[in-house]
Structure 1
Amino acid sequence: MYEDESALHDAAEDGSPEEVAELAGRVEDVDAMHEGRTALWVAVYEERHDNARALVAAGADPWRPMMSGWSPGRLTLAGPEPDLFGRPSGVNGLTDDEAAAVVEAERLRAALGDLYCDGTGLACVAGIDAAEAVRRLEATVEIIDPEEFLDEIDPFSEESMSFVGVTDVPGGCVVTQPWGYMPQTPGASKRLSAGTVCYGLYANPKSGNQGSIVRDGEIVGWDLHPGGTPWEDEGPLEVLFSYLYRYDAVAYSCAYAGLQLTDARAVTGPPDVWLRLPERGYWR
């Protein structure tokens, strides 16, 4: 039998149906788990439905429980081919909240479009407006010429890190810094999250997207990877959002905070207002 069963997972993502079928016939268990998921789950997650059909033909079980209740079959219910496997009687469909999340994901991703955000920092804050964000950050509103400001500012200087933008959006506000991580720092996100939730994102050009969750001043998630493949121990909401917003860290971050942006301006600029933050230890 084929020794490295994780190779079937790789083929499910990147291979052809013929390669998947050949490997499936050589492994000891076509439903072997790797990082909490079967090869069929990988094929569904990556929307390689041709490979998913090949795996089912080889005996893979679409309804085997895994990933916080998101079996491969249940995951298809949130995707473009909800009838891929045919839902057996007795297997629950999507809840109303999950179905609404699917609809919102399609809308939000279309509204934001394709974004290039390397180097950008965001704080997506639920339930407060820009004026409240200014108050919580104890910031000073700066009246500036946007084009002149962006042309002259040195993104690597200490002064540049004290400038952030903030924009009102449906559901809350977005604090942004096109050249740095300041909105996601504990010193900023803890203040912004008082009584609510803040999802922070830094699109690190060196190491990839870095996410954080702060609830009511407490960091409950750090060094996350929004838009990436979910980890084995993540909860049901995180698994669903990872699927709906895969490879789209900005949309994931906005959706997690419940923000319903209608366009990308809060991310790409210009913001409603520019702010200068007071000096303090933002990493403490």
Structure 2
Amino acid sequence: MTRCDDGWAGVGWDGWKDLEEVRRRLDAGADPEKWSGGRPLHRAAVFGSPEVVAELARRVADVDAVEYGAAALWEALMADRPDNARALVEAGADPWRRLIGGWSPGRLALAGPTPDLFPLPEGEPGLTDAEHAVAEEGRRLRAALGTFHYEGTGLACVAGIDADEAIRRLEATPADGEEMAELMGDPFAYDLEESLPFVGVTTVPGGCVVTQPWGYAPSMPGVHTRLSVGTVSYGLYANAKSGNQGSIARDGTIEGWDLHPGGAPDPESTSDEVLFSYVHRYNAVAYSCAYAGLRLPDARAVVGPPDVWVKLPQRDYWGH
């Protein structure tokens, strides 16, 4: 491990909530500006308590200092920590300073669960009609999907085609009912090579969803590209080992790979990408569906039972 000599060695996630310990370290010489290559205030904004945030904020040179394009206030907003955001503003942080994609934390908060977190000053623009629509649909979709376990699930969210067209493009055949009943009883009791060819397909408003609750088949390049001809398909594999893996296929070509749906925006993200990432933060399924413009009424297309179970033909799906 890299040696840490900034005074914060051994501080875990919960440690940023311990005001007495944080204050002891600071008084003993811990650097308020540096934590293992990052900034303690940014870390506390996400994981800490308002009291720790306030303590660190009064000891740093600039409460609005930026790390990877984001100030601590931005990080608190992205982490759904309005208590920490308020502590930062009380310490002098500027909610209306423009950061990633031209968004300020204050204007971005208007699209989130606490739109009144920062009172809108005179002269500051609110959300446009288009931005408001993205936020509203995000709230509706998250509520419609609800909360469910999706670790290990593979999806392809395809715009503009229904289940019948998806099946035609994949040249898939109806799955045997008895075989599927046995498989669904305990899919993880089978070798992946046996269960991988079976996927569910469901028509939803805006397109269709191809799902496999136990594997990555829908997001394999050879599936993804066939589905995306003349349209777009967003693939998701909720990898239990490495986290959510996203991909984009557009008109038969892989356009993006090893993406992170539901994660924070990158420093280089556009204005639209920042809003979309914020609206769908921590919800990879909603992000994937919304990217393709799918307006699911519930989670059935993802968790099943689908409209139809089919079997994919044998072919090399990794060579596209």
Q: Which TM-score bucket, shorter chain as reference? A: over 0.9
The residue type paired with residue 219 of structure 2 is Q
SS at match of 1:115: coil
| Aligned mate of 2:200, from 162, 165, 183 | 165
Q: CA deviation at 1:211?
A: 0.6
* 1:12-27 mapped onto 2 (5 Å cutoff): 12-27=45-60
Q: CA deviation at 1:179?
A: 1.4
Q: Find the aligned partners of 1:72 and 1:80 in 2 and give their Cα distance.
A: 13
Q: CA deviation at 1:86?
A: 2.1
Q: Find the aligned partners of 1:79 and 1:123 in 2 and give their Cα distance.
A: 27
Q: Find the aligned partners of 1:90 and 1:249 in 2 and give their Cα distance.
A: 35
Do the aligned residues in 2 keep the contact of 1:45 with 1:75 (CA within 8 Å)?
Answer: no
2:112 corresponds to which residue?
Answer: 79
1:156 corresponds to which residue?
Answer: 191
* Same amino acid, percent of matched pairs: 65
Q: Find the aligned partners of 2:185 and 2:82 in 1 and give their Cα distance.
A: 47
2:247 corresponds to which residue?
Answer: 212
2:4 corresponds to which residue?
Answer: none
Larger RCO, structure (CA 8 Å, separation 6 or more)? 1
Do the aligned residues in 2 keep the contact of 1:212 with 1:222 (CA within 8 Å)?
Answer: yes
2:280 corresponds to which residue?
Answer: 245
Q: Find the aligned partners of 1:199 and 1:172 in 2 and give their Cα distance.
A: 12
Do the aligned residues in 2 keep the contact of 1:155 with 1:161 (CA within 8 Å)?
Answer: no
Q: Find the aligned partners of 1:139 and 1:81 in 2 and give their Cα distance.
A: 46
SS at match of 2:236: strand
Q: CA deviation at 1:204?
A: 0.5
Q: Which runs of 4+ in 1 moved over 6 A?
A: none
| Aligned mate of 1:50, from 83, 89, 111 | 83
Task: Determine which structure has more spread, i.e. the larger CA radius of gyration.
Answer: 2
SS at match of 2:274: helix
Q: 1-10 or 95-104, which moves further after superposition?
A: 1-10
Q: Find the aligned partners of 2:186 and 2:98 in 1 and give their Cα distance.
A: 55
* 1:37-116 mapped onto 2 (5 Å cutoff): 37-116=70-149
TM-score using structure 2 length: 0.84
Q: Find the aligned partners of 2:57 and 2:170 in 1 and give their Cα distance.
A: 56
Q: Find the aligned partners of 2:85 and 2:59 in 1 and give their Cα distance.
A: 17
The residue type paired with residue 263 of structure 1 is D
Indicate yes or no: 2:238 matched with 1:203. yes
Q: CA deviation at 1:44?
A: 1.6
- Cα offsets for 1:69-107 (capped at 9, x unmatched): 221111111123323222233332212121112111121
The residue type paired with residue 110 of structure 2 is L
Q: CA deviation at 1:143?
A: 4.1
Pairwise CA RMSD: 1.7
The residue type paired with residue 53 of structure 1 is R
The answer for unaligned runs of 5 or more in structure 2 is 1-30
SS at match of 1:68: helix
* 1:125-204 mapped onto 2 (5 Å cutoff): 125-145=158-178, 146-151=180-185, 154-204=189-239
Q: Find the aligned partners of 2:133 and 2:71 in 1 and give their Cα distance.
A: 27
Q: CA deviation at 1:229?
A: 2.0
Relative to structure 1, the CA distance from residue 277 to residue 26 in structure 2 (aligned partners, 3 Å threshold; closer, same or farther) is: same
Q: Find the aligned partners of 1:162 and 1:47 in 2 and give their Cα distance.
A: 39
- Cα offsets for 1:222-242 (capped at 9, x unmatched): 111111222222233332222
The residue type paired with residue 87 of structure 1 is L
The residue type paired with residue 283 of structure 1 is W
2:306 corresponds to which residue?
Answer: 271
Indicate yes or no: 2:69 matched with 1:36. yes
